[in-house]
Structure 1
C-alpha cells in the first residue's frame, strides 16, 4: 500500500513539474506580472518621421534594401557630432558595412562612408541636430536627440544588428 502511494506521488510530481511552466506563462500573460513594461532602447522607439523615401531631400541616398541608414541633421554647427558618428561607424567593426551614414546639411566635405544631402524644404517633423536610425527598407526605427551619447547609439545599433541578422 505504501509503495502504491509513493508511485502516485511521483506521477503527480512529474505532472506538476511539466505543468508549472505552462501555468506560470499563462499567469504572466493573463495578469501582466513579470513582463517588462518599458523599452530598453536609449533612443525614442516611437518615431513620428516618415519613411526615408518620403523625405524632401535634394539627393536621396541609394539603398540596397540590406543597409541600415543613420541619418542626422547638420543644419547648425555639427563638427563634433559628425566626428562622433564617424567613430561610431568605425566602432561597429565587421558590422560596419551594414550601416550607411546620411548627413543632411552642413558645409564641410564628407567623411569616409558618409553621404551628404540637403533639405529641399525643412519638413514640420524636422529637429535640429537630431539623429534617426532607419531600417533597410527606409522606415524609422529609432530617433535620438542632439544630446544622445554616441556610446548609447552604438549600443542600440549593435542590439538591432544582433536581433536582425543579415
Structure 2
C-alpha cells in the first residue's frame, strides 16, 4: 500500500469514529432498539390536581420553604401508615431534611417531624389512604394507591430529589412556613 493509500485509510477511519455513534443512535431511535419502553416513576402523574393551597384543608405547615411534601390521607386511625411513611422519611438519610410529611385527617398526635391538617370540604379526587408527593411550590407530582410498595415510593422520591438539587441559598431560609389552606379563620 502506498503512502497516499494509508493516509486515505486513516482519514476514512477518522470519519468512521465520529459517524458510527451517530448512525447507531439514529438506528436505535428509528427502530426502537435498546430504548426502554417502560416508565421510570412507580406512582401516577398528577398534573390535573390543584395546588396544595387550593386543597380544602386547614393550614398546612412545612418544615422548610423549599421542602418536598409527602401528604397522606388518613380517614381514621392509621398508625401503621403513619409509621410506614415516617420510616421512609428516615430512609432518605441526608436528604430527609428536604422533605416534610403531612398527615391529613386521623385522630391523635402526628409522629415526630410530621404536621397535621384536616379536610374542611370535599374533593372529588380524594381517596382514603392515598399518598401524594408535592413539589416545593405545592404542585402534586405523583400519587400512589394505598397498596403501593414503600420501596417504590422511596425510589421515586430519591429520583425527584436527585433531579431537583437543593439551591445553595436554601440552607439560609426560614425553618417553618405555612402553606395556604381554607381553615375556619379565613
Q: Quote the offset at 1:164 in angstroms.
A: 1.2
The answer as to whether partners of 1:133 and 1:142 remain within 8 angstroms in 2 is yes
Q: 1:1-166 counterparts in 2 under 5 A? A: 2-30=2-30, 32-62=32-62, 64-166=64-166
Which stretch of structure 1 is more off in the superposition, 43-52 or 152-161?
A: 43-52
The answer as to whether partners of 2:64 and 2:98 remain within 8 angstroms in 1 is no
The answer as to whether partners of 1:42 and 1:152 remain within 8 angstroms in 2 is yes
Q: Tell me: CA distance 1:144–1:47, structure 2 relative to 1, closer, same or farther (3 Å).
A: farther
RMSD, matched Cα: 1.9
Partner-residue secondary structure (3-state), 2:45: coil
Gaps of 5+ in 1: none
Partner-residue secondary structure (3-state), 1:61: strand
Q: Quote the offset at 1:66 in angstroms.
A: 1.1
Of structures 1 and 2, the one with the larger relative CO (CA 8 A, separation 6+) is: 2
Cα distance between partner residues in 2 of 1:64 and 1:89:
15
Which stretch of structure 1 is more off in the superposition, 108-117 or 150-159?
A: 150-159
Q: TM-score, normalised by structure 2?
A: 0.81
Cα distance between partner residues in 1 of 2:8 and 2:89:
62
Q: TM-score, normalised by structure 1?
A: 0.90
The answer as to whether partners of 1:70 and 1:131 remain within 8 angstroms in 2 is yes
Q: Quote the offset at 1:31 in angstroms.
A: 5.2
